[in-house]
Amino acid sequence: MRGSGILLPVSSLPSKYGIGCFSSEAYDFVDKLVRAGQKYWQILPLGPIGYGDSPYQSFSTFAGNPYYIDLDRLVSYGWLMEEECAAIDFGQDESRVDYGKLYQERFRILRKAFLNSKVKENPEFIRFCEEQSAWLADYALYMAIKIEYDNRPWDQWEDDLKERNTEALDLKREQLGDEILFYEFLQYEFRREWNALKEYANAKGIRIIGDIPIYVSFDSADAWAHKELFQFDEFGRPIAVAGCPPDGFSADGQLWGNPLYNWEYHRSTQYEWWMKRLGFCFSMYDIVRIDHFRGFDEYFSVPYGDVNAKNGHWEKGPGIDLFRKVKELYPDAEIIAEDLGYVTDSVRQLVRDTGYPGMKVLEFAFDSRDTGSAVDYLPHNYEKNSVVYTGTHDNETVVGWYREGLLESERHMVRDYFRDHITPDDQIHKTLICGAMASAANLCIIPMQDLLGLDNSARMNTPSTSGTNWKWRLNRDGFSDDVIKKLCKLTKLYGR
Residue pair 441/386 in contact (Cβ under 8 Å)? The answer is yes
| Burial class (CB within 10 angstroms; exposed 0-12, middle 13-18, buried 19+) of 411 | middle
Q: Which of 321, 394, 420, 455 is catalytic?
A: 394
Distance CA(7)–CA(362), nearest Å, equals: 15
How far, in Å, CA of 294 to CA of 317, rounded? Answer: 9
Q: Tell me, yes or no, if 338 is annotated catalytic.
A: yes
- Options 138, 184, 291, 367, the catalytic residue: 291
CB neighbours of residue 379 within 10 Å: 18
Contacts of 240 (CB under 8 A, 6+ apart): 231, 260, 301, 302, 303, 304
Specify the DSSP element, H or E, that contains 188: helix 177-203
Question: Active-site residue among 222, 338, 410, 450?
Answer: 338
Residues 6+ apart with CB under 8 A from 166: none
Instruction: Specify whether 70 is catalytic.
Output: no
Give the Å distances, CA to CA, from 326 to 209, 456, 484: 18, 38, 38
d(CA 32, CA 16): 19
DSSP state at residue 56: T
Please indicate whether residue 291 is annotated as part of the active site. yes
Q: Please list the active-site residues.
A: 291, 338, 394
